[in-house]
Amino acid sequence: MKKLVFVLALSLGSLTAFAQDAEEAQAEAAEATEVVAAQDDFSEISADELPEAVTAAVSKNYPTAKIDKAYVNEEKQYKLEVSLEDGTSGTLYADENGNWIEM
């Protein structure tokens, strides 16, 4: 009988842990959706309108990069489409202080 109670207790504990994992996964999925939505709120600006800290960060970390297009959102985060001398291109994200953001 003790073994049966022990097995039932373990089973209940496992189910509770599984339910918590499912709730955490749903919360993470909702958070990821918010990040994607934030990326869509960028408005194009001229590269001349970028803060000095952002252009300095690009020059320091990507000395051969040319900023092709620049965008800003309400949180003063900047999306930069850049191209390098070797022909490669990419997108960088930075805050107004020139700190890189992963999106």
**Residue extents of the structural domains in the chain:** 1-40, 42-95
pLDDT of 103 reads: 80
Q: Of 79, 75, 55, 53, which Cα lies nearest the Cα of 66?
A: 55
**Residue 67 class from Cβ within 10 Å (0-12 exposed, 13-18 middle, 19+ buried)?**
buried
Residue 92 has pLDDT above 60, yes or no: yes
- Answering whether pTM is above 0.85, one says no
pLDDT in tens, 16-65: 444 455 566 565 655 554 454 445 699 999 999 999 999 999 999 999 99
* CA separation for the pair 64, 85 (Å, rounded): 6
